[in-house]
Chain A
Amino acid sequence: MTPADSENRDTTDLMVHAMIGRLFEEPEPTHRSDLADGAIAQGVAVTRRRGFAVAGATLSVLAVIGGAVAMAGGANRSGGGGDWSITTDSTPQIAPQAYDDPGPTYADRQREIVEQLPSVLRPLLPAGVTVSPNQTDAAGGSSMLTGDYVPTIVLRSGGDDYPLHFDISDDTGYASAFARGTSPSIAVAGGTIRVAVVPSGTESPLHGFSAWYEFTPTGSKQVFHFYLYGSGSTTPISPTAFRKMVESPAFAKLRQLLDPSVPASADAVRQRFALEAKINAEAQKVLPTGFRLKLNPGAPGALELVGPGGVNTFEWFSLLGKDQQISCPAQSLCFAPYSGNGIGSTVGPDNKARLGVYGGWTGKSADSSVVIHVFGKSELGTSVEPTQLGKPTETAPQGPGLTPQQAMAIVKAPGVAKVIEDVSKLAGLY
């Protein structure tokens, strides 16, 4: 609010503001000092489970070491007290076909884009600039507000890496970047281009450069744009290089690949079914009877848990080593209805299905745990659970989540950490 606006506030505004302000006339209690570090730790954990880095890794579908044992109807467990055997009905209450997504999905198309992007982009880049998959961010990211997946690729030039985001929305600030008035519109064959570059060190000593590129075809409202950043002094794609890019005959193929109105091919659908078969060959070793995994149709790289009563968004990850471990008593299962505030408190074997976060130790030592996120179907918004973030395209009925017994069966399944790692590699897009 400007000073002029402030002067014009009426009496009501001032009185209500002052009344609420009375709440802060007493000293505030001592606060936590680790808000930033807590958020960073949680954010890193989310990044890890959204997609494990696969740089240099070989996709492994080998049998789980240690002798995998199906946990169906698992044996009684003494941990945490009570009867941990699974007694819930595993008979499907919904036709299996309800989960099959026989047609092309949003996630199918994004997987196809990620696979083809390097070969389509490579011939358009300036000399000396190479392209590689974004191996350090296996699942990419989705906009919190639209659910649009952002295909990302890495350009390499002069020993530096530059992430390049092909985002449809304005999340990376195209409008404000071009509104700064230093980006003239340049006529090119077939339309106009604009390039906005914030050089290294301009906004902050910590920032590298940021660059926004836009091509507006003549007679079309479908703007093509991408965003590039890096730690070098400036962008490896100059305005002149961008002009050559959009005027190249091969540019049409890139636009076609990234056109959001183009559905996935039939081959992409077939590949998805084949991938789900591989995923379940692993997952069945640790999931309770009646459960399987499928790829989330609205969130590329994300999984869903299909159970007898419906489908839920699903993430799982194993924590190895003593750093960043869960806080849960030995031989117990812990549960929290929301993520982001620890693993909650212990939960007993009550056979009640829940949506939320389960966590427990895989063995007796406190250096190996498994955390399971099971929530409702994908939806959008700034405050949905990260596990749920995605386009709400799932048409199958929503499931009730997992019971403590079912979650415990997964946590305690022999070789579960290896299964989680292998499944994550299979589901990741890079």
Chain B
Amino acid sequence: MRSLRKGTSPEHQEEFRVFVTGSQGHLRRSAYVLCGDWHLAEDLVQTAYQRIFRSWQRVRLVDMPDAYARRVVYRCYLDSRKWQRETASIEALVDRPAPEGDAAMRLTILAALAELAPRTRAVVALRYWEDQCVEQTASALGMSPGTVKSMSARGLAQLRQRLGAFASLLPDSVETR
């Protein structure tokens, strides 16, 4: 007889493992963009997977479980003070031996992202890293399209300002659709 406990039948557990194997790489990188630390990113993704597994009986039926999982990661990030509090700070990032070349560029990008407010950082990540349109971003984060547009513009302007010597990575003026 099939086990009836939600999400805990052997079939569902195996199905969930397959889902995690296929989605964890991308979700880790998304979480890293949000919090700037690989260990925290893994904690964030782990928490998201725990929440998803509890509802796996329902999540497995949706058309795009990957999109659902991404939304959970972003919501976990925004709703929990932990990730925001422990996000790598610019002070922590610059308090290291001066890196050179590509390493310096990566640390500068991380530091610039770390200075964005959490919601702005989530908007920038969803819009430009995840390639989500304004409406999709608004839906995922529970805000209006107008707010997404204004946060996008403000976030990119702040990023460009804080990239310093690497400002040329971004265009002189930003367009937000």
Contact = CB atoms under 8 A, between A and B. Distances in A.
Interface of A: 1, 6, 9-13, 15-26, 28-29, 31-32, 35-40, 42-44, 46-47, 53, 134, 136-137, 141, 144, 154, 159-161, 163, 171-173, 176, 204, 206-208, 210, 230-231, 337-338, 340-341, 381-384, 386
Contacts, number: 185
Contacts of B14: 206
A248 B103 CA distance: 72
B59 to A, nearest CB: 9
9 contacts: A16-B159, A20-B125, A37-B17, A40-B8, A43-B56, A137-B6, A337-B82, A338-B82, A386-B51
A416 B26 CA distance: 44
Interface string B42-81: 1101111111111110100111000000011001101110
Contacts of B106: 22-23, 25-26
Given A24-B29, A340-B46, A16 B13 contact: no
A31 B177 CA distance: 36
Given A19-B170, A383-B72, A39 B52 contact: yes
B2 A208 contact: yes
B54 A386 contact: yes
A168 to B, nearest CB: 13
Given A16-B128, A39-B50, A40-B16, A32 B102 contact: no
Chain B interface, >50% SS class: helix
Contacts of B56: 43
Contacts of B93: none
Interface in B1-54: 1-8, 11-17, 20-21, 24, 28-29, 32-33, 38, 42-43, 45-54
Contacts of B16: 36, 39-40
Given A35-B46, A43-B53, A383 B2 contact: no
Contacts of B82: 337-338
Interface of B: 1-8, 11-17, 20-21, 24, 28-29, 32-33, 38, 42-43, 45-56, 58, 61-63, 71-72, 75-76, 78-80, 82, 102-103, 105-106, 109-110, 113, 124-125, 127-129, 131, 156, 159, 169-171, 174-177
B105 to A, nearest CB: 6
A45 B127 CA distance: 36
A198 to B, nearest CB: 9
Contacts of A12: 156, 170-171, 174-176
**Smallest CB-CB A-B distances: 7 pairs:** A16-B128, A36-B20, A39-B49, A43-B53, A383-B79, A231-B2, A36-B17
Contacts of A29: 38
A15 B54 contact: no
Contacts of B176: 12
Contacts of B2: 160-161, 208, 230-231
Contacts of B43: 341
A18 B17 CA distance: 31
